[in-house]
């Protein structure tokens, strides 16, 4: 992927973060710098506890770094905005609103009928047509994720911040949601920053993969994923890349 | 069949209590304590001369007004204390100190301030139910899951939308819990409040029946009616838990 040709959408510059604990200061992030191009899909993989979510919260504007800065389109990111929507593992579809009300939630200012039309359009896009009047507790886990995705898409965000978005789903649904996401990203252009512990998911979706190391958390390696979609995950080059990434993560069992 | 099986044991217990009660009254040849049948005839007497419904109406009126005021004051106050840290820090210690004081202890002050009309019991009912309302609502705001507030912040909605579509619906189940507790306490308190120098209400009925000729049949009739109406009021509050907008809380 010609990342150098793309204008930089997100720029993370020397970001560091520590938390005060009972045993003293805990350095979670240590001078992280990275760039995400406009329209690029970048995955960040790393072992659990390496501060991936902390990094995501800082990049999306929910948290401030102790050192360094994050800018989006050259403007320093200091608070979250609907230009970049965060989708996290726990999910945040409001349980007290119907699917349609959830989808209309973030649409500020427009006419009610217009909002409704947009909401219905995106409900259909993610395969929730006919479920608009349902409440979240009446939906399955996969449908709930679809609703969350649709609620993010309806405000036409430039960036999707996805923090282990499908990790709570079973393997089959996980795969299906990834395909769904790729299908949507073919129709609509979004810059995507995906955080995952799942190497296969990263290779399936991303143009570029950043591997984080733990203690201190720094960028250990970066891999381009030069395969066209749809990707055949069992092909030899994909498996080779997977092995290389796993080796960076300290898992060697696949190298034999 | 299954429903019958479930209610059968409790009916049996009630029947047993009535049986023992009847037997003891007959065996001791008590002239003051009534038999169950005397309670029934006493109740019929109260229904016939219309006083029963007057008393029930008077009690329900006082509870309605006092409890209504408690909801109107308690919910906004609880939302404010839950949302604004300074308000919580300032007011919570005061409320925690006032809360354990039984509303009954306020009776002398209520009479001093408001006399012996309707205002005193309404004030006492207000006091008894406003604290549970405030406490539950505040706790409700404090326990809103962060992820929902973050999502609201992410979509950059206005403060009005945040309150109308996130905070209030998220707290609503807790508000309903507060209302259930508040109404329960209010019903307890109205009876006590009406025993003090009032001319109507179920509490008055009980104390007046005793004072005017030891009519213990009417005392017990009044007690049973209080119990049944309390059950009914709680049932009404339970209906609120079935509302569509709060069912998410009870769905799992």
Tens digit of each residue's pLDDT (9 = 90 or more) over A135-152: 999 999 889 999 999 999
The pLDDT of residue A5 is 44
What is the ipTM metric for this complex? 0.89
SS3 (DSSP) at A41: strand
Q: Is the pLDDT of residue A6 over 60?
A: no
* pLDDT at site A29: 87
Q: Is B243 on the interface with A (CB under 8 A)?
A: no
The single-letter DSSP state of residue A206 is -
Q: Is B36 in the A-facing interface, judged by CB distances under 8 Å?
A: no
Residues 202-231 of B with CB under 8 A from A: none
pLDDT at A229: 82
B248–A81: do the CB atoms touch at under 8 Å?
Answer: no
Tokens standing for residue B151: 């999502």
Does residue A2 surpass a pLDDT of 60? no
| Residue of A208, A192, A161, A140 lying closest to A2 (CA atoms) | A208
Query: What's the mean pLDDT in A91-98?
Result: 94
Q: Which helix (H) or strand (E) holds A36?
A: strand A24-37
> Which residues in chain A are contacts of B158 at CB distance < 8 A?
108
Question: Considering only CB atoms, which chain B residues are within 8 Å of A164?
Answer: none
Locate the chain B residue with the closest alpha carbon to A61.
B154
pLDDT, position A7: 73
And the tokens for A37?
């191009």
Task: Out of B165, B172, B251, name the one closest to residue A97 (CB).
Answer: B165
Distance from CA of A96 to the nearest CA of B (A): 5
List of chain B residues whose C-beta atoms are within 8 Å of the C-beta of residue A62:
150, 153-154
Average pLDDT over residues A106-118: 85
Question: Hey, are the CB atoms on B150 and A62 less than 8 Å from each other?
Answer: yes
pLDDT of chain B, 252 residues: tens digit per residue: 677 788 899 999 999 999 999 999 999 988 889 999 999 999 998 899 888 999 999 999 999 999 999 999 999 999 999 999 999 999 999 999 998 999 989 999 999 999 888 899 999 999 999 999 999 999 999 999 999 999 999 999 888 889 999 999 999 999 999 999 999 999 999 988 888 867 899 999 999 888 887 889 899 999 999 999 999 999 999 999 888 888 888 765
The closest of A79, A76, A85, A2 to A37, measured between CA atoms, is A2
- B246 → chain A, closest CA residue: A96
CA distance B173 to chain A (A): 10
Task: Please give the pLDDT value at position B19.
Answer: 94
The confidence band for A3, taking pLDDT boundaries of 50, 70 and 90, is very low
R_g of chain A, CA atoms, integer Å = 19
Rounded to a whole number of angstroms, the distance from the CA of A138 to the nearest CA of chain B is: 9
pLDDT at A253: 57
* The pLDDT of residue B197: 67
**Quick check: A97 and B169 CB within 8 A?**
yes
B30 token code pair: 């008590």
Between CA B26 and CA A115 the distance in angstroms is: 75
Q: Is the pLDDT of residue A103 over 80?
A: yes
Q: How many CB pairs under 8 A join A and B?
A: 64
pTM score, whole prediction: 0.85
Q: Average per-residue pLDDT in chain A? A: 88
* Rounded distance between C-alpha atoms, residue A127 and residue A143, angstroms: 8
Give A204-231 pLDDT, tens digit per residue: 999 999 998 887 788 888 889 888 888 8
Closest CB to B155: pick one of A79, A82, A95.
A82
Q: A80 and B153: CB-CB below 8 Å?
A: yes
pLDDT above 70: residue A33: yes
* Across A53-62, A170-179, B172-181, least confident range: A170-179
Q: What is the 3-state secondary structure (H, E, C) of chain B?
A: CHHHHHHHHHHHHHHHHHHHHHHHHHHHCCCCCCCHHHHHHHHHHHHHCCHHHHHHHHHHHHHHHHHHHHHHHHHHHHHHHHHCHHHHHHHHHHHHHHCCCCHHHHHHHHHHHHCCCCHHHHHHHHHHHHHHHHHHHHHHHHCCCHHHHHHHHHCCCCHHHHHHHHHHHHHHHHHHHHHHHHHHHHHHHHHHHHCCCCCCCHHHHHHHHHHCCCCHHHHHHHHHHHHHHHHHHHHHHHHHHCCHHHHHHHCC
Residues of chain A with a CB closer than 8 angstroms to some CB in chain B: 60, 62, 79-82, 85-86, 88, 90-92, 94-97, 101, 105-106, 108, 135-137, 155
Measure in Å the smallest separation between the Cα of B77 and chain A Cα atoms.
22
Selected residues 165-184 of chain B with any CB under 8 Å from a CB in chain A? 165-166, 169-170, 172
CA nearest to A93 within chain B: B148
Give the pLDDT band (50/70/90) at residue A62: very high
The number of residues in chain B equals 252
The answer to whether B154 faces chain A, any CB pair under 8 Å, is yes
* Nearest-angstrom CA–CA distance, A87 and A165: 6
pLDDT at residue A1 tops 70 = no
Q: At residue A255, does pLDDT exceed 60?
A: no
Q: Per the CB < 8 Å rule, is A137 touching B157?
A: no
Which B positions 122-151 lie with beta carbon below 8 A of chain A? 147-148, 150-151
Residues in A closer than 8 angstroms to B176, CB to CB, are: none
Interface test with chain B among A84, A91, A94, A101, by most B beta carbons within 10 Å: A94
Please give the Cα distance from B17 to B36 (Å, whole number).
10
- Chain B interface test: which of A96, A151, A152 (most B C-beta within 10 Å): A96
């Amino acid at each position: 992927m010609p990342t150098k040709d793309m204008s930089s959408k997100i720029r993370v510059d020397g970001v560091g973060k520590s938390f005060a604990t009972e045993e003293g200061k805990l350095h979670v992030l240590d001078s992280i710098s990275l760039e995400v191009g406009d329209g690029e899909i970048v995955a960040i993989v790393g072992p659990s506890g390496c501060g991936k979510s902390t990094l995501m919260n800082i990049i999306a504007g929910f948290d401030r770094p102790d050192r360094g800065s994050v800018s989006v389109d050259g403007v320093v990111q200091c608070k979250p905005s609907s230009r970049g929507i965060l989708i996290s593992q726990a999910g945040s579809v409001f349980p007290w609103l119907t699917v349609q009300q959830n989808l209309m939630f973030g649409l500020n200012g427009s006419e009610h009928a217009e909002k409704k039309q947009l909401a219905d359009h995106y409900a259909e896009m993610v395969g929730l047509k006919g479920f608009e009047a349902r409440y979240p507790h009446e939906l399955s886990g996969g449908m709930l994720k679809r609703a969350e995705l649709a609620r993010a898409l309806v405000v036409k965000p430039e960036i999707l911040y996805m923090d282990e978005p499908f990790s709570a789903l079973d393997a089959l649904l996980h795969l299906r949601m990834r395909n769904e996401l790729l299908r949507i990203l073919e129709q609509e252009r979004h810059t995507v920053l995906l955080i995952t512990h799942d190497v296969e998911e990263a290779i399936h979706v991303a143009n570029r993969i950043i591997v984080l190391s733990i203690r201190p958390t720094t960028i250990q390696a970066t891999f381009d994923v030069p395969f066209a979609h749809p990707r055949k995950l069992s092909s030899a080059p994909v498996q080779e890349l997977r092995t290389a990434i796993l080796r960076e993560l300290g898992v060697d069992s696949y190298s034999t | 069949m299954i429903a019958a099986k479930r209610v059968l044991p409790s009916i049996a217990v009630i029947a047993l209590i009535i049986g023992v009660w009847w037997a003891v009254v007959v065996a001791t040849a008590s002239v003051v304590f009534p038999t169950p049948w005397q309670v029934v005839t006493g109740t019929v007497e109260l229904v016939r001369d219309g006083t029963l419904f007057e008393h029930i109406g008077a009690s329900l009126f006082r509870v309605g007004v006092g409890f209504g005021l408690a909801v109107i004051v308690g919910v906004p106050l609880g939302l404010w204390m839950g949302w604004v840290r300074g308000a919580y820090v300032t007011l919570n210690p005061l409320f925690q100190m006032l809360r354990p004081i039984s509303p009954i202890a306020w009776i002398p002050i209520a009479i001093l301030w408001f006399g012996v009309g309707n205002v005193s019991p309404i004030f006492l009912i207000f006091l008894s139910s406003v604290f549970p309302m405030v406490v539950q609502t505040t706790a409700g705001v404090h326990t809103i899951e962060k992820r929902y507030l973050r999502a609201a912040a992410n979509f950059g909605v206005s403060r009005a939308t945040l309150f109308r579509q996130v905070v209030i619906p998220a707290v609503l189940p807790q508000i309903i819990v507060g209302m259930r507790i508040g109404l329960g306490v209010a019903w307890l308190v109205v009876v006590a409040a009406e025993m003090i120098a009032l001319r109507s209400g179920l509490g008055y009925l009980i104390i007046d029946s005793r004072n005017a000729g030891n009519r213990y049949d009417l005392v017990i009739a009044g007690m049973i009616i209080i119990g049944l109406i309390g059950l009914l009021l709680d049932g009404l509050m339970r209906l609120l838990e079935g509302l569509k907008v709060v069912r998410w809380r009870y769905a799992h």
